[in-house]
Structure 1
């Protein structure tokens, strides 16, 4: 009997795909950098509101110009948008607050624990099963997070806890989106996701007594942050997600903390200590193992 050998080649990605991903790595790494730049100018709760409000105006204006802004979608899926809007708003405020206690590079590394939270939500909520390799990766990432977070009596511990809680809220929003957003047009989804998030952030800022009208310099920073960190960043994220397999997409995005550390050192002279670097390395290694097991 003749033996037939089938050769399976790896997927080939275009130069455009890699260029888009390189751009995404840069803008994705600047989330905590922008939060740090805004910190001396405006309270984190207010800055989170203005950043999302600017992004909302840009995306909804674009959708309206295209004649694709359908308010009935928001009414039909009101509780869905309200749920994810609250979770994203809470996550954004906590991440902006955390940067007062922890440097952007360490924050970026610790933020990668979101993959572990998503994994656990899949197990306990979506009834998925874990392989031994995934369990090992999750344990390694949690160990790294504990290494960074456990500073008895230090402000670093408070900042790390805020990031972990922020990351959990964002992972929970992602699980809800994965489960119930399949039938919603992307532009409708993105526009109303931003709108509901902005509404909750407005109430957070007013309720905390932090809503103040920014000065001209702060407005420039807010406009830059809303455009780059929300509109461009998320557009690149979803575009590259269509071009790359999800496992490769997540693994490559693990490089963003490296860019965040370099930017933090250049702009603020801040660099993670030895303990933060060891903990961050454990987090990234654990996340890599989890995604490797997914493949």
Structure 2
């Protein structure tokens, strides 16, 4: 025991041990985030079947805000607020606006599309758009393998959303455009977060997110003149989903970014559709149509190819 401890005091071995430990933490956080985030689709869909979107938002983000603020103070990250620079305040404001646009479009798509698994499959457009934005704004490299993965993801998304209409309005299932808008805003927010996650703690970022979303939900609640009275079953679904989603899942994603590259975290997260499919079947006893399952499988393969290609490129750069 002492011999092993002494070995890890050697600088090179100590560095390798920490590196492996950090990598394990990163993948573990990404796995927890994937499972937790998958449940957002299930529990939010169940709640939105019973309540108005504004009612849902108030309860959902109030619970998430209480948890996030409590965690912010427990970790001591609240002390950093007094030392934020003007630029950091502007970034938090930009992120807040992006999160309102991203989250509103996300839950609208959940509400419009009957099967949560279908929403998740089409949502695999997100890494394709994120990769494209990385090329344009961050001047990242784009390999032929990533191009192939992106093409697969696009083909899969087309197969899932296609319904055989003769006009553009009838060509895709309702909600497809909303998912696309969500993917664009989500990719933009992810770029901003990735560029600033080292200078601002995950606890601060997640608290900023839910405060903005709760404030927006509260405004919409009064605009639509909704009631605070909702069914008990909807409240239970909201409580479970809000704990797993806007608190645990987002926090775990931010933590994973601290230990592993976004591309490696995305490899794990690309399996989200499988968990949503399983959860949707167990909770709602529904399955997507055959062509949607095929398209969903194609999008997952495409996203995996993109993520693995990015991870390999990152390893070559480190070497």
TM-score range, shorter chain: 0.7 to 0.9
Q: How does 1:85-100 map to 2 (within 5 A)?
A: 85-100=96-111
Deviations 1:53-72 (A, max 9, x none): 22112211332355542444
Residue of structure 1 equivalent to 2:43: 34
Matches within 5 A, 1:174-189: 174-189=190-205
Report the secondary structure of 2:182's partner residue.
Answer: helix
Distance 1:49 1:237, change over 3 A: same
Preserved contact between residue 27 and residue 260 of structure 2 (Cα < 8 Å): no
CA distance in 2, matches of 1:159, 1:268: 19
CA distance in 2, matches of 1:240, 1:69: 21
Aligned to 2:121: 109
Secondary structure of 1:120's aligned partner: helix
What is the match of residue 160 of structure 2?
148
Q: What are structure 1's unaligned runs of at least 5 residues?
A: 1-8
The structure with the greater share of residues assigned to helix is 2
How many residues in Structure 1 have an aligned counterpart in Structure 2? 285
Q: Tell me the TM-score normalized by structure 1.
A: 0.83
Unaligned runs of 5+ in 2: 1-15, 313-319
| Deviation digits for residues 99-140 of structure 1 (CA, Å, limit 9, x no counterpart) | 233211111122222111111111222232312222222122
Q: Partners of 1:223 and 1:54 in 2: how far apart?
A: 7
Query: Contact 1:85–1:200 (CA<8 Å) still a contact in 2?
Result: no
Once residues 181 and 243 of structure 1 are traced to their aligned partners in structure 2, the CA distance between those partners, rounded to angstroms, is 11
Distance 1:127 1:26, change over 3 A: closer
1:224/1:179 CA distance change after superposition, 3 Å? same
CA drift at 1:90: 2.0
For 2:269, which of 237, 253, 261 is the aligned residue?
253
Residues 12 and 183 of structure 1: is their aligned pair in 2 closer, same or farther, counting only changes over 3 Å? closer
Higher mean alpha-carbon deviation, 226-235 vs 12-21, is at: 12-21
| Aligned residues: CA RMSD | 2.9
Residue in 2 aligned with 1:289? 305
TM-score (normalised: structure 2): 0.78
Q: Which SS does the other structure have where 1:157 is aligned?
A: coil
Deviates more, 1:100-109 or 1:13-22: 13-22
Alignment of 1:132-147 (within 5 A): 132-147=144-159
Determine if contact 2:197/2:258 at 8 Å carries over to the other structure. no
**Distance in 1, Cα, partners of 2:299 & 2:259:** 26
CA offsets, 1:215-267, max 9 Å, x none? 36133332222112121222333344455554343222222211211111121
